[in-house]
Amino acid sequence: MSGFFDIPSDLQHSWLGLIGLHLREALLPVLAGLVLALPIAQLCVRFRWLYPPVLWVTTVLYAIPSLAFFVVLIDYTGQTELTVMIPLAVYSLVILVPAIVDGVRSVPQETLAAATAMGFGPLRRYVQVQLPIAVPAIIAGLRVAVVSSISLVSVGTLIGNQGALGNLLADSMFYHRPELAVNSVVTTAVLAIVIDALLVGLRHLLTPWMEDTAK
Amino acid sequence: MNVLNFINAFFSDSAHWKGYDGIPTRLWEHILYSLVALGIAAGIGLPVGLLTGHTGRGGNALSLIATAARALPSFGLLVLMFVVLGLGLLPVMIPLVVLAVPPILVTTYEAVRSVDPSPVDAARGMGMHESRILLQVELPVALPLILSGLRSAAIQIVSTATIAAYVSLGGLGRYIVDGLYQRDYEKVVGGATLVAVLALATLGLFWAVGRLAVSPGVRRSN
């Protein structure tokens, strides 16, 4: 008997366990990327000459294939979860920096002047005015980063079975059980769609002043 | 003992330069897979994107399709197609095309949509046919954005074609996958370097195409 949810024991996780593992491997890097991207983006906004070179570096970094990135890291971090998560964090960073810079830059000059006139210091103006107005752009970047991150974790199965749900793909080949591959693809896709929808919901919560337009 | 030593060792070994597992053969296989996939994806994405962008209809449907397609994990799809369809080029092409169509489709649509409406109106007022408006007015103005969509699709294809080696096909991924199984780290790093260089070359190629194909007037306004 080989049902849809019968996970081979060599993976040492249940189906739900794999989902948890997958989410952790996909979302922690995005979070790390966001934490790093905020100050970098702020520097790019403050010092305009910094943005074009940063944009170049991010474009080049994003062009590096994930598998190539993974294997070069093996030398330093071994065949561990961290090896999967570092490249994903870099990809997230690379997606988020331009998104945040464009978002923060789209804040109208009058709005900033008004905040300054009201006695806001630079930090308070950043946190209470610029960041909230940039939320839609940041969330749009997060959506792309999260979906690609969730999809890329599966490739981790090639470097010492660090792929969470992707490990089902390897097993589906070893044991000739196509339903495991179906399970992996469907579960990963559903995870991506659910997280994407949650982010859209979050944007609605964070920006109640925006009209609910379809997009 | 670092990555650079491995790279040097890999490329200076003459055994890596000839035969069916030589660098020229694997590189050519990789380029071939990528070109075929990009060709098919552009054949689907460009006409649909141009038409929907020109008429301005179907934008919501497009973004829905693109979100769904983006959510599909390409590596998972590759293994699934291999398990279902068996060995061949088709199981590799399907995930690559699914991966590449959304960026091409969505950016083409957005690019044509965001063309300044006044030259389009002027062209219409001059009596230009709709197809000529699309091809001679909207397309040249939208070209930089359309190229950026094609570029990100091409780069994703080049990176993902690496994984084709996992389901027993050729390409540069062969070195990475074989090297991992053989514990031959030199081979793994050599393969990874080649893929990264190929991806960067793609980036450079699109930059050059942009310089040549985009009209100077459009380039200046950007």
Cα end-to-end distance, chain B, whole Å: 46
Asked if residue B147 has pLDDT above 70, the reply is yes
The count of domains in chain A is 1
For chain B, count helices (H), then strands (E): 11, 0
- Domain B3-221 of CATH type 3.30.1130.10: no
Tokens of A6: 């019968």
Are the CB atoms for A41 and A97 separated by under 8 Å?
A: yes
Q: Is B75's CB within 8 Å of A155's CB? A: yes
Asked whether the beta carbons of residue B193 and residue A68 sit closer than 8 angstroms, the reply is yes
Contact B95, B160 (CB under 8 A): yes
Domain coverage including residue A44: 13-206
- Structure-token pair, residue A92: 């997230």
- Binning pLDDT at 50, 70 and 90, where does residue A73 land? confident
pLDDT beyond 60 at B222: no
What is the distance in angstroms between the Cα of A128 and the nearest Cα belonging to chain B?
31
Q: What is the pLDDT of residue A90?
A: 92
Taking 90 as the threshold, does the pLDDT of residue B85 lie above it? no
Per-residue pLDDT band for A78 (boundaries 50, 70, 90) equals confident
- Mark yes or no for CB contact A166/B73 under 8 Å: yes
Q: Is the pLDDT of residue A76 over 80?
A: yes
Is it the case that residue A215 has pLDDT exceeding 50? no
pLDDT, tens digit, for every residue of A18-45? 899 999 999 999 999 999 999 999 899 8
Q: How far apart are CA B164 and CA B78, in angstroms?
A: 8
Is the pLDDT at B150 greater than 90, yes or no? yes
Place of tokens 């070209």: B143
Does residue A178 belong to the interface with chain B, where contact is any CB pair within 8 Å? yes
Q: Is residue B173's pLDDT more than 90?
A: no
Residues B189-220 have pLDDT tens digits of 888 889 888 988 998 999 999 889 888 877 75
Query: Do B172 and B162 meet the contact criterion of CB atoms below 8 Å apart?
Result: yes
| Residue A2, pLDDT score | 61
Question: Which residue spans within B129-206 are E strands per DSSP?
Answer: none
Calculate the average pLDDT of chain A.
86
Size of interface A-B (CB pairs under 8 A): 136
Contacts of A116 (CB under 8 A, 6+ apart): A125
- One DSSP character per residue, B76-121 reads HHHHHHHHHH-SSSHHHHHHHHHHHHHHHHHHHHHHHHTS-HHHHH
Cβ <8 Å between B177 and A158: yes
Instruction: Give me the pLDDT at residue B65, please.
Output: 84
CB spacing of A158 vs B166 below 8 angstroms = yes
Backbone angles phi, psi at A167, to 5 degrees: -60, -25
Residue type, A209: W
Mean pLDDT of B20-31: 88
Question: Nearest by CB to A63, which of B79, B163, B203?
Answer: B203
Residue of chain B minimizing CA distance to A144: B70
pLDDT band at A213 (very low <50, low <70, confident <90, very high): low
Separate counts of helices (H) and strands (E) for chain A: 9, 0
The answer to whether A140 contacts chain B (CB < 8 Å) is no
Residue-level pLDDT at B221:
54
Contact assignment for B200 to A155 by CB distance below 8 Å: no
What gap in Å lies between CA A150 and CA A22, rounded to an integer?
7
Give residues with Cβ within 8 angstroms of A57, minimum separation 6: none
Over residues B75-89, the mean pLDDT reads 86
Q: Does A4 fall in a domain?
A: no
Contact A66 B82 (CB under 8 A): no
Give the chain A residue nearest B160 (alpha carbons): A65
pLDDT for B87 equals: 83
Of A203, A197, A193, A196, nearest to A136 by C-alpha is A203
pLDDT at B97: 93
> Does position A210 have pLDDT exceeding 80, yes or no?
no
Report CB contact under 8 Å: A189, B72: yes
In whole angstroms, how large is the CA radius of gyration of chain B?
21
pLDDT (mean) for A4-17: 81
Identify which of A50, A135, A62 has the alpha carbon closest to the alpha carbon of residue A100.
Answer: A135
CB A124 within 8 A of CB A132: no
The residue of A59, A94, A169 whose CB has the most chain B CBs within 10 angstroms, and thus the best one to mutate to test that interface, is A169
What the block records as the tokens of A145 is 């980063």
Three-class SS of residue A156? helix
Which percentage of chain A shows pLDDT scores above 70?
97
Cβ-Cβ contacts under 8 Å for A93 (sequence gap 6 or more): A32, A33, A36, A37, A40, A58
Class of residue A53 by CB neighbours under 10 A (exposed 0-12, middle 13-18, buried 19+): exposed
Q: At A214, is the pLDDT very low, low, confident or very high (cuts 50, 70, 90)? A: very low
Q: Residue A120 and residue A92: Cα distance in Å, rounded?
A: 31
Dihedral of CA atoms A169, A173, A175, A178 in degrees, nearest 10, equals 70
Q: What is the mean pLDDT of residues A152-169?
A: 85
What is the CB neighbour count within 10 angstroms for residue A174?
A: 11
User: Which CATH number is A63's domain given?
Assistant: 1.10.3720.10
**pLDDT at residue number B220:** 58
Main-chain dihedrals φ then ψ at residue B56, nearest 5 degrees: 75, 15
Is residue A47 a part of any domain in this protein?
yes
A63 has a pLDDT exceeding 80: no
Q: Which residues of A touch B83 (CB under 8 A)?
A: 172-173, 176, 178, 181
CA distance A109 to A120: 14
A 64-103 near B (Cβ less than 8 A): 64-69, 71-72, 74-75
B/e letters for B91-126, b = 16+ CB within 10 Å, e = fewer, are bbbbbbbbbbbbbbbbbbbbbbbebeeeebeebeee
In chain B, the residue whose alpha carbon lies closest to the alpha carbon of A177 is B83
For residue A93, the distance in angstroms to the closest alpha carbon of chain B comes to: 17
| A200 and chain B in contact, CB less than 8 A | no
End-to-end CA separation in angstroms for chain A: 45
Q: Distance from A131 to chain B by nearest Cα, in Å?
A: 26
- Numbered residues of chain B with Cβ closer than 8 Å to any chain A Cβ: 2-3, 6, 60, 63, 67-68, 70-77, 79-80, 82-84, 155, 158-160, 162-163, 166, 173, 176-177, 179-180, 185, 188-189, 191-193, 195-196, 199-200, 202-203
Tens digits of per-residue pLDDT, A86-111?
999 999 998 999 899 988 888 888 98
Report the length, in residues, of chain B: 222
Mean pLDDT of chain B: 87
Domain ranges of chain B: 3-221
A2 is a domain residue:
no
* pLDDT of amino acid A150: 92
Alpha carbon B50 to its chain's center: 18
Determine what percent of chain B is predicted with pLDDT higher than 70: 98
- Chain B residues within an 8 Å CB radius of A162: none
**Residue indicated by tokens 């070069």:** A72
Q: How confident is the model at residue A1, as a pLDDT?
A: 44
Structure-model confidence comparison of residues A135 and A211, the more confident one: A135
pLDDT band at residue A211, thresholds of 50, 70 and 90? low
